[in-house]
Chains A and B, each alone.
Chain A
């Protein structure tokens, strides 16, 4: 039998019962669709994460107390949450490989203006903070060294805070209630959207000395700084400096497990996020792949039913000269056809939903753009065809092995 005849026969076999074929394909459609969708979402997230580096610049670095960094949970929940003292920070200023050191104290709590209330993400930090995060104002000014020295009750607020507390009106000079004190708004930050999955426009920044006076503590939650030249050199420098100050002896393998702090570059932070995001994508893709297997079992079931239903047809084909391999190929091609068509519909569906998600998420996360992962599409289609081939073998073999007479007599 010619190849084109085989394909024609298989097409007839699949299209003769369209409704059933479509239902059979459903598992494959969902499986392939999910793989394409999840890998597409993963790719879009990758774009968002890479975008973070461009905001911060490759020389931006961060230092946390405890050796788990931000993955260790909220700052007070981390082990060694008080490991970095203000004295440590002052001492760090003696290093020549780093500059623009901005210690940060987190200040949880509600902010009020008149009857309006909200819970922004408030931090107390020095003016270097703005520099490290490339923050600018659209109105007013950023706080400066004189505000620090006088520990003034001033605040620079994000655009969302302006919306929530002042309904978009001019907040400069207005006084916000925060932590039993009144803070005068001196500046409004330029909107930056989401950074590292957090809404960066929902924040308030107060002078570090003011925050310290309010909190009355001598340890900090985080430090941002910049490498003067090479960030790898800077990282090593900070690590060895702090180990010496804290009397930490690193293990022989050079790991950081004995440290009570963690230094990271912006790139490393993005890498960590990338790894988490990729892990999630792989996990969900694997779940989606399971539905491909389930779909495959569905295909096998329907193909077995088809073989039983078409036993007389198989007998007739053998009676007019079909060889075992002709029947085997016919049913295998039908099975691969089902999964491949299902795969193509799944790819289209996956791309469609991926696009829809991008449309919605883009409103919240402006760096989230529709992205396609071509390798995953090719892989999903191969997986679909492979599923058809694998799960089609048994029914096709059963059909091919039928004796012509037995098949013709079948009722």
Chain B
């Protein structure tokens, strides 16, 4: 992982349009954004605001139409498909709202999946890493269960284990609590919080204020534009309280 506070993501005038039968639908307009290593950032906005599209572009899952995007000062535009796949395999990972676990496959196999594509982690290390990641989310006793035998909260915890098994620098979480009840949602956010405390950069996309409040920084997005970029009130209060207590 790179040193905390150094520039990790730097987007300038980033635009994204979708084209369908010659018809252009713009989704993002002139996004200027810098995210440093170790930050916990929430991208918040209503449905259709472009927050997920922004996350997919920042997470190398989608291409932008214009502007520039530097990842560790490296222009993403110059990277080919293999370079992008390598970054996805080694430096970033995702937690999706719909969990996206492989059906009819065990928890362990799901968590092992990213390691199959990791270029440097040896096959002999895989099992230990996967079991460690499963233990981190408290599902050791469920390791052999099939994914469809789990509750929604457990599925999302498996997705979190899968995201951290390669020890990536950045974890992108797209509405990770969107399909969960409040108790499971809280557990999942605690797990995300822990990942941040362990030094991972977290970029969380949500439309719920309570979920966004877990982040240090909240970027509000509406109609494809950044409207506000603020420090989280709740986190600020918590920080001040801990300073006072000291």
Contacts and interface: CB of A to CB of B under 8 A. Distances in A.
B156 to A, nearest CB: 14
Nearest to B93: A320
Interface string B117-131: 110000100000000
B56 interface: yes
A2 B124 CA distance: 13
A138 to B, nearest CB: 71
Nearest to B94: A319
A321 B96 contact: no
A393 B61 CA distance: 25
- Interface core residue of A313, A321, A324, A403 (most chain B CB under 10 Å): A321
Contact of B85 (A12, A16, A318, A408): A318
B88 A319 contact: yes
B114 A2 contact: no
Interface residues of B, number: 25
B114 to A, nearest CB: 4
A2 B123 contact: yes
A321 B104 CA distance: 21
A320 B114 contact: yes
B81 A316 contact: no
Contacts of B116: 1-2, 5, 9
B117 A322 contact: yes
Contacts of B56: 405
- Interface core residue of A315, A316, A326 (most chain B CB under 10 Å): A316
B100 A408 contact: yes
Contact of B62 (A9, A16, A312, A405): A405
A323 B102 contact: no
A321 B100 contact: no
B86 interface: yes
A321 B86 contact: yes
Given A2-B116, A16-B104, 15 more contacts: A5-B116, A312-B100, A313-B102, A315-B100, A316-B102, A317-B113, A319-B88, A321-B89, A321-B117, A322-B85, A323-B81, A326-B117, A404-B62, A408-B61, A408-B100
Contact of B117 (A312, A313, A317, A404): A317
A19 to B, nearest CB: 14
- In the A-B complex, the 6 residue pairs with the smallest Cβ-Cβ separation, listed nearest first, are A321-B89, A321-B117, A320-B114, A405-B62, A323-B85, A405-B61
Nearest to B119: A321
- Interface core residue of B85, B102, B162 (most chain A CB under 10 Å): B85
Interface in A273-323: 312-313, 315-323
A324 B56 CA distance: 18
A118 B115 CA distance: 80
Contacts of B102: 313, 316
Contacts of A321: 85-86, 88-90, 114, 117-118, 166
Nearest to B60: A404
B73 interface: no
Contacts of B81: 323-324
A5 B116 CA distance: 7
Nearest to B85: A323
Interface size bracket, A side: 20 to 34
B178 to A, nearest CB: 15
Contacts of A317: 113, 117
Interface in B53-96: 56, 61-62, 81-82, 85-86, 88-90, 93-94, 96
B62 A316 contact: no
A320 B89 contact: yes
Contact of A320 (B82, B105, B117, B123): B117
Contacts of B114: 320-321
Contacts of A1: 116-117
Interface string B98-113: 0010101100000001
A321 B93 CA distance: 9
Contacts of A323: 81-82, 85, 117
Contacts of B118: 321
B102 to A, nearest CB: 6
Given A2-B123, A312-B100, A320 B62 contact: no
A1 B82 CA distance: 13
B96 A408 contact: yes
Interface in A320-363: 320-324, 326
Nearest to A407: B61
- Interface core residue of B81, B96, B117 (most chain A CB under 10 Å): B117
A9 B109 CA distance: 11
Nearest to A312: B100
B101 to A, nearest CB: 8
A1 B105 CA distance: 19
Nearest to B53: A405
A363 to B, nearest CB: 51
Given A319-B94, A321-B86, A403 B62 contact: yes
Nearest to A12: B105
A5 B112 CA distance: 11
A99 to B, nearest CB: 79
Given A326-B117, A408-B96, A408-B100, A320 B61 contact: no
13 contacts: A5-B116, A5-B123, A16-B104, A316-B100, A318-B61, A318-B88, A319-B88, A320-B88, A321-B86, A323-B82, A404-B62, A404-B88, A408-B96
Nearest to B174: A408
Interface string B17-41: 0000000000000000000000000
